[in-house]
Amino acid sequence: MRLGILLATGALPPALALLAANALLAACAEVPVPSLTHTPLASDPFAAARDELVETGIIGYGIEDPAVIQAIRSVPRHRFVPAEYRDKAYGNHPLPIGYGQTISQPYIVALMTEALELEPGDRVLEIGTGSGYQTAVLLEMGMEVYSIEIVGPLADSAAAILEQPGYPNLHLKHADGYFGWEQAAPFDAIIVTAAPDHVPRPLLMQLKVGGILIIPVGPVGGFQELWSVRRTGEEVYENASLGGVRFVPLVREPGPE
């Protein structure tokens, strides 16, 4: 049944679709000169593994946007995972990053990023910075990124990793992303990489007309549906399902006792 949902997501050959389905089931979200900061050195010991991931797990799964493909090829995912998982950094699956959270599967990062339909220089709001990997992919594509993380130590470590090479277009905040980032709104696109059980109204309101919100919605601990929500008018939104996924829950800041 899940497979049915998943297979509906794209025109993959059956063998690949099955792989993609398994991968999905394991999924946990100025004018740009493509940044050269992350361009792998010839001596990068992970360059071959990263290329292999791009060929088989990104292009091979049906991702077509050249900017997304280039970003996945450039961002050193091994820097965003804990040291003990570094040798697994270019597998096409999520990995633990502590605090019960995960770095998303590369294919899901690519799928969600492609679905945002970004133009260079777009203002993007990300809810759930986590490791900072998805953030780096957006930054490499030349976006102005506003990213919010609710777990303090994760926000700190992502900031530290992203500090090197350093991105002038990055804005990080430690807060409950349910409320979005009112002061920086509106956004051309919004990506949510943790799953709420409904679409937060503040995020809908902070999207530009014409903009796209990509968000997994569904029950905690189960499977969710990945939605693309396009704001087509002040109060008009069009939804399209991108298939079944599994993300960690969007948690809420505890209210006053």
Which residue lies nearer to ligand SAH by CB, 67 or 194? Answer: 194
Candidates 44, 65, 117, 176: give the one binding ligand SAH (CB under 6 A). Answer: 176
* Residues from 142 through 161 that contact ligand SAH (CB under 6 A): 148-151, 154
| Contact of 110 with 53, CB cutoff 8 Å | no
Q: Is 104 a catalytic residue?
A: yes
Q: CA torsion angle for 151, 84, 57, 94 (degrees, to 10)?
A: -30
Binding test (CB under 6 A) with ligand SAH, winner from 60, 106, 128, 218: 128
Q: What is the distance in angstroms between the CA of the first residue and the CA of the last residue of the chain?
A: 42
Using rule CB under 6 A, residue 113 touches ligand SAH:
no
Torsion of CA 245, 197, 119, 114, to 10 degrees: 10
Q: What is the DSSP letter of 134?
A: H
Alpha carbon 189 to its chain's center: 12
Give the span between the Cα atoms of 164 and 159, in whole angstroms: 9
- Binding to ligand SAH by CB under 6 A, coded x per residue (else -) over 8-47, reads --------------------xx------------------
Q: Which residues are 149's β-sheet partners?
A: 174
CA 46 to chain centre: 21
Does 224 bind ligand SAH (CB under 6 A)? Our answer is no
What is the per-residue binding string for ligand SAH in 66-105, x denoting contact by CB under 6 A?
A: -----------------------------------xxxx-
For ligand SAH, the binding residues (CB under 6 A) are 28-29, 101-104, 127-128, 130-131, 133-134, 148-151, 154, 176-178, 193-194, 248, 250-252
